[in-house]
């Protein structure tokens, strides 16, 4: 069991784009295991590789009640989004103490590979759809607060916090 340290904003490593996985080997299996161990050590529903300082396009999520059904997405892509969008409250292990509602598609069809390299497609709805989009953003160096308006970021004091740190 390896619980890895989670990078927190404004760590610049969270802003780097991740690279597609082309080797489905023991190193990838270890990454998936570490992601699950780190996810289950806390109460979050999803975790991406860049948050534990790994540049591969891998994420895990588990929205099951018992937290015994991890979903592993390697090289995920979104094939289609439904027209319905919703405002859902999000938080992030890399932004402790911050939560806000983000507008996202609430129905989508995703394609990915599992840890063994087998391709699959899956329909996701509601929180699962939101979680996948949040974690996929991490693979592109995007944090959920980037998707808020400036006014709402000011409301969270993110901008003010950065300004005062920069001034200190």
Closest contact distance (angstroms) between CB of 121 and Zn ion is 24
Q: Does residue 21 belong to the site contacting Zn ion (CB under 5 A)?
A: no
Half-sphere exposure of 123 (CA within 13 A, CB side): 2
The CB-nearest residue to Zn ion is: 92
Task: Select from 17-25, 80-88, 91-99, 147-155 the region that touches Zn ion (CB under 5 A).
Answer: 91-99
Half-sphere exposure of 68 (CA within 13 A, CB side): 1
Q: Does residue 102 belong to the site contacting Zn ion (CB under 5 A)?
A: no
Closest contact distance (angstroms) between CB of 106 and Zn ion is 18
Q: Which of 74, 92, 105, 110 lies at the binding interface for Zn ion (CB under 5 A)? A: 92
Radius of gyration of the CA atoms of the chain, in A: 16
Q: Does residue 61 belong to the site contacting Zn ion (CB under 5 A)?
A: no
Half-sphere exposure of 92 (CA within 13 A, CB side): 29
Q: Could you count the other beta carbons within 10 Å of the beta carbon of residue 49?
A: 26
24 or 156, CB closer to Zn ion?
156
Alpha-carbon distances, residue 101 vs 98, 130, 148 (angstroms) = 11, 11, 8
Residues known to be catalytic: 135
- Binding interface with Zn ion (CB under 5 A): 92
């Amino acid at each position: 069991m390896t619980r890895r340290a989670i990078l927190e904003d404004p760590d610049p490593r969270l802003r780097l784009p991740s690279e597609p996985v082309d080797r489905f080997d023991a190193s990838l299996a270890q990454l998936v295991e570490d992601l699950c161990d780190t996810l289950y050590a806390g109460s979050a529903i999803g975790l991406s590789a860049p948050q534990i300082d790994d540049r591969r396009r891998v994420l895990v999520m588990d929205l099951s009640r018992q937290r015994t059904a991890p979903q592993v997405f390697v090289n995920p892509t979104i094939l289609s989004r439904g027209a319905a969008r919703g405002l859902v409250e999000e938080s992030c292990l890399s932004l402790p103490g911050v939560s806000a509602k983000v507008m996202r598609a609430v129905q989508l069809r995703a394609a990915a590979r599992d840890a063994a390299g087998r391709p699959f497609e899956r329909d996701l709805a509601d929180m699962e759809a939101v979680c996948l989009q949040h974690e996929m953003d991490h693979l592109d160096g995007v944090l959920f607060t980037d998707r808020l308006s400036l006014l709402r970021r000011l409301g969270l004091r993110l901008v003010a916090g950065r300004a005062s740190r920069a001034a200190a």
